Amino acid sequence: MTRLQLIEQIRKKKSYLCVGLDTDITKIPRHLSTDPDPVFAFNKAIIDATKDLCVSYKINTAFYEALGVKGWEAMEKTVRYIGDEHFKIADAKRGDIGNTSDQYAKAFFETLPFDAITVAPYMGEDSVKPFLQHKGKWAIVLGLTSNKGANDFELLHTGGEFFYEKVLETVSAWGTEDNLMFVIGATREGELSNVRKLTPHHFYLVPGVGAQGGSLKDVSEEAMIKDCGILVNISRAILYASAGQDFAEKAREVAKEYQEEMSGYLK
């Protein structure tokens, strides 16, 4: 999916909601346990209930890889079921030497029909570039994250600036606004204005709203640009809105609340 296509979907749906399909098999409703593929059955119901309210789905691959072959099959069925009208993100946080990253890129962009993959930039340019060489595909590079461990490296002062600032400035030159995004945590609202100054036109994938305490209002006011420029990921609040047979209906209600709030912030 191109940047223009993504922006078109945002305008059409008046939404920049990304639904996180971080499906934990231990948390899905019990009545699905007898299904031959309970994870896919759960995901399918969530997708059907929310597809008109969101522009993106993010699949955290760890929840699927932990289940072995069956989990991988459920992930593949899920990403194919989503289709082409939504921006499909593999939250895999890959990043290795060039020839290895090249194989990761082929796995998620050719074998699987993802539009984007999250990437760790620690190993440098040659570990990120392979993900930027596929037309219509995106690398979403870790920039400033919400977790406590961000203090260990990202928020260290190095040469008069935060380490995350160096990352944003350096990585921005490796790609373009059409194939490169950044992960920016919603709980870093005090830094959002600075992040936007450093990367004025890039899209951000923003986790941390909802269960982690981030504010949709703050994120929207500090990071939104004329092309929107943000995808706000909501996972647990939508996925596990109910543990009963009405889980999909309740998921839709929560997604609708976020979509309606987002429509008021869009410029």
Catalytic residues: 93
Cα distance between residue 73 and residue 261, in whole Å? 35
- What residues contact residue 260 under an 8 Å CB cut-off, 6+ apart? none
156's enclosing H/E stretch is: none
Cα distance between residue 242 and residue 134, in whole Å? 39
DSSP 8-state class, residue 110: I
Pairing of strands 161-162, 157-158: antiparallel
Q: Is 182 exposed, middle or buried (0-12, 13-18, 19+ CB in 10 A)?
A: buried
* Residue given tokens 């209002």 in the structure block: 217
Instruction: Check: CB of residue 189 under 8 Å from CB of residue 214.
Output: yes
What spatial distance separates the first Cα and last Cα of the chain, rounded to whole Å?
A: 22
User: Roughly what angle, to the nearest 10 degrees, separates helices 38-50 and 247-265?
Assistant: 40
The residue type at 39: V
**3-state DSSP helix/strand/coil % of the chain, to nearest 5:** 45, 20, 35
